[in-house]
Structures are given as structure tokens and as C-alpha cells.
Amino acid sequence: MSTDTSHIRNFCIVAHIDHGKSTLADRLLEITHTVEDRDMRAQYLDKMDLERERGITIKAQAVRLAHEGFELNLIDTPGHVDFTYEVSRSLEACEGAVLLVDAAQGLEAQTLANYHLARDAGLVIVPALNKIDLPAAEPEQRAEELAALLNCEPDDILRISAKSGQGVPELLAAIIERVPPPVGDPAKPLQALIFDSMFDPYRGVVSYIRVKEGELPSNARVRLMATKVESDAEETGVMSPEATPIDKLGPGEVGYLITGLKDVHQAKVGDTITLAGKNAATEPLPGYREPKPMVWSGLFPAEGGDYSELREALDRLKLSDAALHYEPETSTALGFGFRCGFLGLLHMDIVKERLEREFRLELIATAPNVEFHVYRNEEVEVVHNPAEMPAPGTFEKTEEPVVLATMLTPSDYLGAVMELCQARRGEMVDMSYLTPTRIEIHYVLPLAEIVFDFFDQLKSRTKGYASLDYEPWGYQESDLVRVDVLLHGDPVDAFSSVVHRSKSYSYGKQMVERLKELIPRQLFDVAIQAAIGSHVIARETVKAKRKDVLAKCYGGDITRKRKLLETQKKGKARMRRVGKVDVPQEAFIAALRIDDSAKKEKK
Amino acid sequence: MTDAGIYVHVPFCLTRCGYCDFNAYAGMDHAMPRYLRTLLAEASLAAPAWREERVVSVFLGGGTPTTMAPADLRSLLVHIQDLYSVDPSAEVTTEANPDTVDRRSLEALLSAGFDRLSMGAQSFDPAVLRELERVHSPDSVRRAFGAARDAGYMNVNLDLIYGAHGERAESWERTLLETIALAPEHISAYALTVEPATPLGRRIAAGEVPEPDPDLQADMFALACELLRDAGYRHYEVSNWAKPGYECRHNLGYWERRPYLGLGAGAHSYRDNARWWNVRPPEDYMNTVERGDLPIGGSESLQPEDAYLEEVFLRLRTLEGIPASWIDDDRALPFLANGLLEEDFGNLVPTERGMLLLNELVLALAGN
């Protein structure tokens, strides 16, 4: 039974990581008695253990709260820049957004970016300062900053403590009062937006949807307009917070749909669900976008024999991850594997970790690269594997993707931020003072410069105060070169990377220096070279090993000695032979590892 | 009858040296009489199974056997000669520390039948001796060596260690030249090997001293090869040189995989592809034997592939090498080409460079 739309409120919470979104969601579940006290646990909605460990929310979820006769749908939004598109679809499912800001830390770039997304989507903003009970909280100052940004009065900003529950009932009241009810006509053809899809091993694809127009009965035959797939609905329902079947979803309502489809690629985020047959809508809802990988990397099993296991694991993972792309790749150094496309480094990290944890695979990931364009004979080739980069001099020009980066920084660190952006080949677009001490600054930056350690550098140069968000901004011409790494004269394809010419020397130097430490001494001198085409730009040598023998070997030593040799033999068996050089697995993993410090930025 | 050797382990030492991981103890001299009785008892317990072997060598090692009185060592040897078929021309060695011997004790040992003396000189550089925590001085080595000659010893080995922290090639060269000047029949020169479970190993792990530099040790090895060859010594095993005819028969037995019986705490024995070893703590060892049991602490039976690997890595340590017919040509050829192996009357023999890279050679030749 559908609810009268005047009693529906659909809202999300826009917040920076650590600003208390999950804690607020917990309090809302409690106060509305959606979860009984005895069942309550922290970060209730972050179901997957992977998410819980990383402290982030990968999958948006919608949960229905019943409160004083109102049906409140809390739509959770992903909290990372890798998932900006998913955020925008979640926002499309709402009429309002709680803008949650840490009363000690103030506004961060990501929150600002999502606030802009929410405002652009026409959402009513309900601002709230969280953690007002912390000693470091400065609610008055933060309220003024926020009021200036939102063009409202500081008094309109709620003060809460999601942890203690202080102010949360007032926030609920404000949501009901300020967020408008959805509008929609039950008589119109069905248009329902998919804002998230996940794969359940028992039920198949579960899509989170927002009905815009029309009604979705639980037994309807549905049509997915972008993928043109039809299927019978198996179940419709709402999460409160566990799945609760209902017989139909009406206009303005948020819930889930189980279709019996077995692959999330058939029910992608942003697609429109309508009814099959004569009652179908003629137009899909606007804004659908194919998920587009931004970062590519080769994934290879550390043990060559695990290739088919890796393929099966990727096939399984893909069922629940519509953004994951992969295609077979063969490396002379690493054997058979897959070139995989990810939304960003965090996404790559999550996929790799799930493959290793859930499928018990040991993987080598090659250096990630962005997708670039090569113009040859007036034709453009899209290249996402360094191996496909043509030889120098055989093409006219290259282009690389750029992003529009939004950074917020205290004005004291403006110089440091600008310096970093210049060093990363950035071009300033504009900057403005949010408050007398806080600056919003925009740069167009090559994506390749952003995806690795940029955020880390930004944080360290601003003592942690600056924040970052970015969005795709097309392609621009760029002087890209492929740097190859040669061992004893043989190129090792796994170490090749396409970089801007100005960065080629530092990449080459870093790789040969790392490898010098990682490649064990062999029976001959091993030259490690970095080269562009035939031009060597960096070189190191691993000197030949001269001594590897046990000095003493008498009656009591022989057993131990034999076991040492067997251990050494096993170590050799785990090496990969590149030309004449034995390279340990660990060397591939360590040489290609992105600095741990660079990973933290992804959270 | 097959030729066999008997090894007797004496775990007593004046002091423990920082690099040593042998089953050896300082300050335990009070246990000597009981340990000697136990050795005699173990020799009796083990003897019935070894009646078919002709014992061609007896070797007292440690520890420092010469911390025990010559009369005790004599009674031990007499007991062994009574129980086993010891060949009249057997090589009978005792290890010695320069500070534990003088002319009189050496005369007593020689007349008891210990006709070969192996002395731990280690270095003639006082700084290196200090680094190794050896208590003796270069002079005491010269004095003890002179005493051995005066006592009538015609077959003396000096042990040397190179590559200790702070030792440079020049110092090692002086040690070699001083050793050569004494003209012992046999010289063992060992690259200092760091065992983790030693005071030295812990100091290195803690970063207090650097690990030995393998390249410097390789240079020192090459220097030893050169100087000792020029002085008329034959380099017959990785770390052993001898005047012709003075190769250590007992140790050759290990590398040629002849049977050996080990007596004493922690001693290993080997026969017919079986190896077993005594319990290591002297107290446990003595208690077990006193109950009338063989003090075996562990054993292994060598599978054919284990035996083959041992055969290859032990024989390749020596100038004899292994028959070329054992190894596929395509495995051996690269090493014949790069000068780590040479062929000598149908045998593959490591060169001096090859000896230093023996682990690599063995894995390449006998690995699968």
C-alpha cells in the first residue's frame, strides 16, 4: 500500500568522512525505534565487513524510518570521490539533504562538493553542526561560516551531538518541516530511478530505487530502459532496516526491487525502471551515465597457475560491481592476467583486497595508469595499457584526462597549495574566500597527477587542513611518453608506464633505484635501465654475487645445510625469470606498490 | 668392512666466543669427570652396532677437548680402541686451544695416540682476536705451535677466521703470512659466518655491528687461495688447505659420505642413508646414558632425492667434485663457460670462484 506523498520525506546526509554520518544514522534508527535497542550496533547500516574495517561506505543504502506518522527515507551516499556519480544518483532520489559538518573541523572540500551537487539537484539543505559536545568544537564560528555559505542565518543551523543524541529529535523535526514531500502521479507510466544495485548470492540483483512517477507492483514485469533488459519483479519492499516486502511502491517512495537478474550490469546505477508492454514510459529519467573506469592496472596472479581462479573471481565480483572492467592481458614478465579498469585508486584497492581476501588469491598489480588518447594518422586510439603505446615518433600527439579539482584551505596555506598544484602541472581556474581565513580554489589538473599521492601531499603541506574533491573535466593535449624498464637489456613490460615527459626521469629513476634494492644479486652484473624508446634515462647495476657458500660443513652441519638448500630452492621456484634475470615475486609487488602513505588519502 | 670415523664431542670451553653456536659451555668444568664416564658408557652402548666398520679416524672436537686432562683423553681413546676396530694407522685428531696446552701436555697427548693436532689460532691480529672475543694472543699461538713441534707433532692444523668486523684485507694478509711462516701441515680458513642465536648475531640484529661484507670476504678468500697455493698448500675443500698427503681423513669422510659415529652431547651420526643425533644439553645427555639408553634426540632417513642432494653438495665442496655423467650437459655447460666449474678427468670440479658460489651451483645442477 502506498503512502500519501505528503507524509513522505526523502533525504540524505552529506558529510565528510569522520564527521559523524554513520553515527547520526545510528541515532535516527534508535530514536524512531526502527531498530530495537537490543539489536543496535554501531555503524548499523555499513553492512559489509570490508566497509566497516575501512570506515567508509561503499554502497548506498536506503532505510525507511517511521516517525510521527511520517515515512522518512534516509538515503545513504558514498563518501569518496571515486564514487561521485553514485552520489549524484543518490541525491536524485531525495528532496532534501542534511549537511552535517564537524563543529571542530568545519567544512571540507568533499562536503562542499557534495553540497554543490545537492544544491544543483534542487535539494533543500538542512544544515547541522555535529560533535558540539567536543572540547575543540567552535559551533558559533562554524555556524557563521556555514551561514555565509548557505546564505542563511546562523540560527537556522542545528547543533547536535550524534554520539549522545543531543539535538537529534530537533533535527528530525526540522527534516519533516523543511524538506518538501515528493511529487508524482500514480496514474502516469512508471519511472523509477536505480540509485544503487547490489548482488545477493541468494536473491540475485537487488536494486535500490526511487519511484518518480507511476506505481511499481511487486509482481510487475519490468523493463530497464538503458540496458533494454526485461524481467519479472520477484519482490518489492523497503528496508527498515531489514528487508520488508510490500506489495507495491508508489510515487515518491524509496525501496528495493528484486528482479531475479543475475548480473548487476543489467541493472546499473542511473538506469530507469518502467513497466514492460503498453504501459511503458517513453522517456527514461535524465542523467544516466555508463560507469567509466578512470584508472587501469594489470592484475596478475602471483602464482601463474591461479589464472583461471582469478578469472572466476573477477566474473563473480563483476556481478556485484558494475563499475569493474576487465579484459585478458598477457605480460611477458607476469604471464596471463587481466587489465582492469577502476573508478579510482580506492576502487582498485577494494577490488584487489576483495580478490585476495574473499578468493584467497595472491596478486601482483602493475602500476596504475589513466586512459589516454593517441593520435596517429588523423585517427584517435584510446589506450589504457602502456604496452599499446606506439613507439616514439610514430604518432602525432597524445592527450590525457584532466579533472577540475576543488580545494578548500586555510588562507595561511594558499601558497603551499598553489605550489603543489603548479608542480603537478595544474592550471588555476579561480579562487574565492569563503570566509576571511578560508579559501576555495579550483585547478584543472591532469588526472594522472591526482590519483597517486596528491592528496597526501596536500595534507602534509597544509598540516592536514586542506581538503580536496574533483570531477572529470575532459581531455587535454599532453606530451606523454612510455618509460620502459630493462633488466639486463630485456624490457619488463610490467614495469612500463606512460607518464608526462617532465615526469619521465623521476619515474625512471625511482623504478631503477627501487629495483636495485629488490633484485637479488645474480651470478652476473645486472644492469637496470629506464628508457624512453632506445634512449636510456636512468641506470643502476646490481653487482654480481660472489659468495654464497656455507664456510663450515662437517658431520653435525649436513642435515641443517641440506634443509637450507631446500629452502633456497623453494625461494628460487617462486622467482620469475625475466630474460636471464631471476626476479622474486616480492620485487614485483614492492616495486609496483604505491606508497602506503599515498593509499591513506583514498579514505 | 667399510671405513668409518668416530667423532667425540667435548662441550667444555674456557670462555664462550661471541660468534660460536657450537654445543659448548664455559664454567661447567665440574661436570668433566661425570661427562667422561658418560662418554665411556655411551661408547660401550653404541659399539655392538659398529663392529663391522673399520675406524680409520677418530676426532675429538668441541668445545675444547684439551680443557680435559691428557690422562682422561688417553683413557677415552684406549676405551674406544678396545671397543671398536680402530685401524692401527688411523688418524687421531684432537682440537686444542692455544691457552690449554704446553709442551708437557702435548707430549702426553701424542704418546696417548693423538697424532694430529688442530688448533684454533683464528687470527694473528690482536684487534681481530678481540673482536672475535678470543682470549688468547698471537704470541700464545706461536708459543703453543712451537710447543707442539717440540713435543714431536708432525701434523698440525691451524684454524683461521676472516671477515670479522673491522678486519681489512691487509690484516688478513698478515695473518696468512704469519701462518705460512709457521708452516703447519694443514690450514682451515673460514669466512666468519653469523648465526642468529649467538651474541654476535644479536649484536648485528640490533645494529651494533655491521654484517660481514660478503664481497670483502670473497676478496679475502681469493687472497687465501693465492698465498696458500704459492706456499705449497693444496686447496682440497672450500675452507681447507693441506700440504700434499696431510688432508684430514676424518673430515674427508663427511664429504665423501662415509659412515661416522658421533659420541657425546649433540653429536651426529650417519650410516646407510640414516642420520641421527644425540640430545644436545649435556645434562640430558648424561642422564639418558646413565639410565642405560642410547641418548638419541632425533633422526632422519634420507630419501633418494635427499641423498642425491647431499652427495652433490658435499662432493662439490672438494677437489674431487662429482662425476660429469651425473649432470645433464645443458645444466653444466653454462658454468663450464662462465668459469665456475671445470672438468677434470671426467669429474665436474668447482673453480675457486665456483667454490664461493657453491649454493648457486648445487641448486642449478641438482635442483629440479
- The reply to whether A413 falls in a domain is yes
Q: How many domains does chain A have?
A: 5
Interface contact A562-B310, CB threshold 8 A: yes
Interface contact A562-B306, CB threshold 8 A: yes
Interface contact A549-B268, CB threshold 8 A: no
- The reply to whether A287 falls in a domain is no
Residues of A in contact with B214 (CB under 8 A): 545-548
Q: Is residue A35 within 8 Å of A65, Cβ to Cβ?
A: no
User: Is the peptide bond preceding residue A393 cis, with omega within 30 degrees of 0?
Assistant: no
Residues of B in contact with A572 (CB under 8 A): 363, 367
Mean pLDDT of chain A: 87
Q: Is residue A158 within 8 Å of A171, Cβ to Cβ?
A: yes
What confidence score (pLDDT) does residue A149 get?
A: 85
What confidence score (pLDDT) does residue A87 get?
A: 81
What confidence score (pLDDT) does residue A81 get?
A: 62
What confidence score (pLDDT) does residue B138 get?
A: 94
Q: How far apart are CA A114 and CA B176, in angstroms?
A: 77
What confidence score (pLDDT) does residue A46 get?
A: 61
Q: Give yes or no for A552 touching B (CB within 8 A).
A: yes
User: Do A497 and A468 share a domain, yes or no?
Assistant: no
Reduced DSSP (H G I as helix, E B as strand, rest coil) percent helix, strand, coil of chain B, to 5: 45, 25, 30
Q: How far apart are CA A356 and CA A220, in angstroms?
A: 39
Interface contact B218-A546, CB threshold 8 A: yes
Give the residue on A whose Cα is nearest the Cα of B252.
A554
Confidence of residue A250 (pLDDT cuts 50, 70, 90): very high
- Count, residues in chain A: 603
Q: Which of B239, B270, B306 sits opposite A551 (nearest CB)?
A: B239
Q: C-alpha cell of B182?
A: 709457521
Q: Looking up cell 707430549, which residue turns up?
A: B107
Q: Which of A549, A550, A572 has the highest number of chain B CBs within 10 A, making it the mutation to test binding with B?
A: A549
Q: pLDDT per residue over A273-318, tens digit each?
A: 999 988 899 999 988 887 788 899 999 998 777 899 999 999 888 8
Size of interface A-B (CB pairs under 8 A): 95
Nearest-CA distance from B208 to chain A in Å? 22
User: Do A108 and A174 share a domain, yes or no?
Assistant: yes
Q: How far apart are CA B270 and CA B259, in angstroms?
A: 5
* Cross-strand bridge partners of residue B160: B122, B189
User: Do A511 and A443 share a domain, yes or no?
Assistant: no
Q: Give yes or no for A570 touching B (CB within 8 A).
A: no
Residues of the domain holding A419: 373-478
Query: How far are the Cα atoms of A578, B185, B230, B286, B361 from residue B176, in angstroms, in the given order?
Result: 42, 14, 12, 41, 28
What confidence score (pLDDT) does residue A453 get?
A: 76
| Backbone torsions φ then ψ of B252, nearest 5 degrees | -55, -35
- The reply to whether A602 falls in a domain is no
Chain B residues within 8 angstroms (CB to CB) of chain A = 7, 190-193, 214-215, 217-218, 221, 238-239, 251, 254-255, 260, 262, 266-270, 275, 277, 300, 306, 309-310, 313-314, 317, 338, 340, 353, 355-360, 362-363, 367-368
Determine the longest span between alpha carbons in chain A, in angstroms: 94
Q: Which of A554, A559, A562 sits opposite B251 (nearest CB)?
A: A554
Interface contact B357-A547, CB threshold 8 A: yes
User: Do A356 and A319 share a domain, yes or no?
Assistant: yes
User: Do A26 and A50 share a domain, yes or no?
Assistant: yes
pLDDT at residue A595 greater than cutoff 60: no
- The reply to whether A43 falls in a domain is yes
Query: How far are the Cα atoms of A295, A424, A449 from residue A452, in angstroms, in the given order?
Result: 10, 11, 7
User: Do A19 and A160 share a domain, yes or no?
Assistant: yes
User: Do A146 and A163 share a domain, yes or no?
Assistant: yes
Interface contact A562-B215, CB threshold 8 A: no
Interface contact A555-B190, CB threshold 8 A: no
Residues of A in contact with B269 (CB under 8 A): 555
Q: Give yes or no for A391 touching B (CB within 8 A).
A: no
Residues of A in contact with B300 (CB under 8 A): 559
Q: C-alpha cell of B290?
A: 646413565
Q: Is residue B161 within 8 Å of B192, Cβ to Cβ?
A: yes
Instruction: Show which of A151, A178, A205 is a domain's final residue.
Output: A178
Distance from the Cα of residue A354 to its chain's centroid: 14
Q: What is the CATH number of the domain that holds A123?
A: 3.40.50.300
Kindly state the helix (H) or strand (E) to which residue A232 belongs, with its residue range. Answer: strand A229-232
User: Do A155 and A51 share a domain, yes or no?
Assistant: yes
Q: Is residue A303 within 8 Å of A267, Cβ to Cβ?
A: no
Instruction: Show which of A423, A453, A478 is a domain's final residue.
Output: A478
Q: Where are the domains positioned within chain B?
A: 2-255, 321-366
Residues 6+ apart with CB under 8 A from A573: none
Residues of A in contact with B277 (CB under 8 A): 556, 559
Q: What is the CATH number of the domain that holds A213?
A: 2.40.30.10
- The reply to whether A217 falls in a domain is yes
Q: pLDDT per residue over B231-277, tens digit each?
A: 999 999 999 999 999 999 999 999 999 999 999 999 999 999 999 99
User: Do A20 and A144 share a domain, yes or no?
Assistant: yes
CATH architecture for segment(s) B2-255:
Alpha-Beta Barrel (3.20)
For β-strands B53-62 and B85-96, DSSP reports them as parallel
Q: How far apart are CA A505 and CA A483, in angstroms?
A: 9
Give the residue on B whose Cα is nearest the Cα of A564.
B359
Interface contact A547-B363, CB threshold 8 A: no
Q: pLDDT per residue over A395-406, tens digit each?
A: 999 999 999 999
Residues of B in contact with A568 (CB under 8 A): 359, 363
Residues of A in contact with B221 (CB under 8 A): 547
Distance from the Cα of residue A201 to its chain's centroid: 23
What confidence score (pLDDT) does residue A45 get?
A: 67
pLDDT at residue A603 greater than cutoff 50: no
User: Do A549 and A570 share a domain, yes or no?
Assistant: yes
**Which has more pLDDT, A47 or B251?**
B251
Residues of A in contact with B340 (CB under 8 A): 523
Confidence of residue A51 (pLDDT cuts 50, 70, 90): very low
**Which has more pLDDT, A43 or B269?**
B269
Residues of A in contact with B255 (CB under 8 A): 553
Helix (H, G, I), strand (E, B) or coil at A505: helix
Q: How far apart are CA A554 and CA B182, in angstroms?
A: 26
Helix (H, G, I), strand (E, B) or coil at B106: helix
Q: What is the CATH number of the domain that holds A567?
A: 3.30.70.2570
Q: Is residue A558 within 8 Å of B254, Cβ to Cβ?
A: yes
Interface contact B193-A552, CB threshold 8 A: yes
Q: Which of A542, A547, A567 has the highest number of chain B CBs within 10 A, making it the mutation to test binding with B?
A: A547
- The torsion defined by the Cα of B128, B131, B137 and B142, in degrees rounded to 10, comes to -40
Interface contact A547-B254, CB threshold 8 A: no
Nearest-CA distance from A576 to chain B in Å? 15
Residues of A in contact with B313 (CB under 8 A): 561-562, 565
Interface contact A569-B191, CB threshold 8 A: no
Q: What is the CATH number of the domain that holds A422?
A: 3.30.70.240
- The reply to whether A289 falls in a domain is no
Instruction: Show which of A456, A478, A500 is a domain's final residue.
Output: A478
Kindly state the helix (H) or strand (E) to which residue A128 belongs, with its residue range. Answer: strand A124-130
Q: pLDDT per residue over A107-138, tens digit each?
A: 887 788 788 888 888 999 999 999 999 998 89
Q: How far apart are CA B92 and CA B112, in angstroms?
A: 10
Q: Which of residues 251-280 of A touch B (CB under 8 A)?
A: none
User: Do A302 and A221 share a domain, yes or no?
Assistant: no
Give the residue on B whose Cα is nearest the Cα of A580.
B334
Closest to B57 in 3D by CA, of B118, B127, B105: B118
Percent of residues, chain A, with pLDDT higher than 90: 54
Q: How far apart are CA A35 and CA A321, in angstroms?
A: 29
Q: Which of B193, B215, B277 sits opposite A551 (nearest CB)?
A: B193
Reduced DSSP (H G I as helix, E B as strand, rest coil) percent helix, strand, coil of chain A, to 5: 30, 35, 35
Q: Which residue blocks in A292-332 are alpha helix, DSSP H? A: 307-318
Q: What is the CATH number of the domain that holds A314?
A: 3.30.70.870
- The reply to whether A603 falls in a domain is no
Q: Which of B190, B313, B338 sits opposite A551 (nearest CB)?
A: B190
**In this predicted complex, what is the ipTM?**
0.93
Distance from the Cα of residue B173 to its chain's centroid: 23
Give the residue on A whose Cα is nearest the Cα of B301.
A559
What confidence score (pLDDT) does residue A602 get?
A: 35
Residues of A in contact with B306 (CB under 8 A): 562
Q: Give the 3-state secondary structure of B317-363.
A: CECCCEEHHHCCHHHHHHHHHCCCEEEECCEEEECHHHHHCHHHHHH
Residues of A in contact with B218 (CB under 8 A): 546-547
What confidence score (pLDDT) does residue B97 get?
A: 92
Give the residue on B whose Cα is nearest the Cα of A560.
B310
Residues of A in contact with B266 (CB under 8 A): 556
- CA B249, B255, B260, B262 torsion-angle sign: positive
pLDDT at residue A26 greater than cutoff 90: no
What confidence score (pLDDT) does residue A79 get?
A: 62
Q: How far apart are CA B61 and CA B97, in angstroms?
A: 11
Nearest-CA distance from B4 to chain A in Å? 12
What confidence score (pLDDT) does residue A47 get?
A: 52
User: Do A392 and A494 share a domain, yes or no?
Assistant: no
A570-573 contacts at long range (C-beta below 8 A, 24 or more positions apart): A572/B363, A572/B367
pLDDT at residue A52 greater than cutoff 60: no
Mean pLDDT of B318-342: 94
Q: Which of A546, A559, A565 sits opposite B356 (nearest CB)?
A: A546
